């Protein structure tokens, strides 16, 4: 009986770990052409070289910043109004690279990692722009939810990155695991609690995901430039105090915008003009422009 229970425990733990690395198909909600913007379809490798990523490149004015947009889990490159934000900023002269993380949209890969492997995808996007001739000092990165967490980890590894805008980042993945398991699987926390330690162990050994390494609040403390942090007060998926923790750990001069009455990753959708203004102002203050 003990052997049977042990096998069942391992099996369920594996199913939990495996299930947390898979997402459903994220269909495109729109495209830049819907907003009258010209764009180029592009493909490039993750910095690790294990998957090819698919995206859209909206060219900006020569001396304006070029921004990399990193989406949240399950929604793909067009989720949370990112395409409309991209085209809004593109009309102001910004270049924008939108792309699908691994396991999403048209990009390769069958598994996701809530930011751990995705940090390498973000760095692949950064490498792509540099290879295209965009000066690193003109490249900024904007992420939402998982994308925001991945960018913190990426910036701690790539010193060429000098500007980050973080919408609803998590502070430490381990603090959210029970909440995320419930959200992704529908299973109650009291039931999954006993399986979490083994599932975390299996995720690291089988899928090479380091839960302890997924700590944006630790990563931003290593940066030497200020960041912009955004979070809605009614976020039930990633509590607002996570952004406060990331902000508190960030370098001096960082900015925190707490958006009243807004749910998870809906700050742009609910406040389009102000959101675009704040994001644009931050990147111009960090990366500058010789226009106008």
Domain boundaries defined on the chain? 30-173+212-287
Q: 182 or 165: which carries more pLDDT confidence?
A: 165
9 SS3 class = helix
Other beta carbons less than 10 A from residue 241's beta carbon: 13
Q: CB pairs under 8 A, 24+ apart, for 154-161?
A: 154/119, 154/120, 154/122, 154/123, 154/126, 155/219, 155/220, 155/223, 156/219, 156/220, 156/222, 156/223, 157/119, 157/123, 158/123, 158/126, 160/126, 160/130, 160/136, 161/126, 161/136
Work out the average pLDDT over 30-37.
97
Specify the DSSP element, H or E, that contains 143.
Answer: strand 139-144
| pLDDT higher than 80, residue 245 | yes
Whole-angstrom Cα Rg for the chain: 19
- Please give the share of the chain, as a percent, with pLDDT higher than 90: 74
Give the confidence band of 164 by pLDDT, cuts at 50, 70, 90.
very high
In which element (H, E) is residue 255 found? strand 255-259
Q: How high is the mean pLDDT of the chain? A: 91
Residue that wins the pLDDT comparison between 159 and 183: 159
Report the largest interatomic distance among the alpha carbons of the chain, rounded to a whole angstrom.
76
Mean pLDDT calculated for residue range 29-55: 97
Environment class of 184 (CB within 10 Å of its CB; exposed 0-12, middle 13-18, buried 19+): middle
β 95-99/164-167 pair status = unpaired
**Rounded distance between C-alpha atoms, residue 173 and residue 180, angstroms:** 9
Q: What is the pLDDT of residues 54-85, one digit of tens each?
A: 999 999 998 999 999 999 998 999 999 999 99
pLDDT at 22: 81
Q: Flag whether pLDDT at 291 surpasses 60.
A: no
Pairing of strands 52-58, 40-45: antiparallel
CB 71 within 8 A of CB 82: yes
Q: Please tell me the least confidently modeled range out of 98-107, 112-121, 201-210, 251-260.
A: 201-210
User: Coil, strand or helix: which one is 31?
Assistant: coil
* pLDDT(292) > 80: no
Range from 22-26, 191-195, 200-204, 249-253 carrying the lowest mean pLDDT: 191-195
pLDDT at 185 over 70: no
Specify the pLDDT at position 190: 64
Decide which of 27 and 128 is more confident: 128
* DSSP per-residue string spanning 41-65: EEEEE-TTSS-EEEEEEE---TTS-
The pLDDT of residue 262 is above 90: yes
Report the alpha-carbon distance of residue 211 to residue 90 in Å, rounded. 36
109-163 confidence digits (pLDDT tens)? 989 999 999 999 999 999 999 999 999 999 999 999 999 999 999 999 999 999 9
**Per-residue model confidence (pLDDT) at position 178:** 67
Q: What is the mean pLDDT of residues 265-291?
A: 93
Sign, CA dihedral 205-206-207-208, equals positive
Domain covering 30-173+212-287, topology: Rossmann fold (3.40.50)
pLDDT band at 12 (very low <50, low <70, confident <90, very high): low
């Amino acid at each position: 009986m003990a052997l049977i229970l042990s096998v069942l425990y391992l099996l369920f733990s594996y199913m939990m770990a495996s299930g947390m690395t898979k997402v459903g198909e994220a269909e495109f909600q729109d495209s830049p052409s819907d907003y009258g913007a010209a764009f180029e379809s592009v493909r490039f490798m993750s910095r690790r070289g294990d998957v090819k990523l698919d995206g859209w490149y909206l060219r900006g004015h020569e001396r304006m910043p070029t921004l990399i947009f990193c989406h949240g889990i399950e929604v793909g490159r067009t989720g949370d109004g990112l395409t409309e934000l991209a085209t809004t900023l593109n009309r102001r002269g910004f270049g924008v690279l939108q792309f699908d993380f691994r396991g999403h949209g048209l990009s390769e890969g069958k598994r996701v990692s809530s930011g751990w492997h995705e940090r390498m995808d973000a760095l692949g996007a950064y490498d792509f722009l540099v290879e295209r001739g965009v000066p690193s000092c003109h490249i900024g990165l904007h992420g939402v939810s998982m994308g925001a967490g991945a960018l913190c980890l990426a910036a701690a590894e790539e010193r060429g990155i000098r500007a980050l805008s973080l919408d609803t980042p998590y502070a430490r993945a381990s603090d959210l695991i029970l909440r995320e398991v419930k959200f992704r699987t529908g299973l109650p926390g009291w039931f999954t609690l006993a399986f979490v330690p083994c599932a975390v162990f299996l995720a690291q050994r089988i899928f090479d995901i380091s839960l302890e390494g997924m700590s944006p609040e630790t990563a931003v403390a290593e940066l030497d430039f200020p960041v912009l942090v955004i979070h809605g007060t009614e976020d039930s998926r990633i509590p607002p105090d996570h952004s406060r923790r990331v902000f508190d750990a960030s370098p001096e001069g960082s900015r925190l915008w707490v958006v009243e009455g807004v749910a998870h990753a809906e700050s742009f959708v609910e406040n389009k003009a102000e959101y675009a203004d704040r994001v644009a102002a931050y990147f111009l203050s960090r990366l500058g422009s010789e226009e106008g």
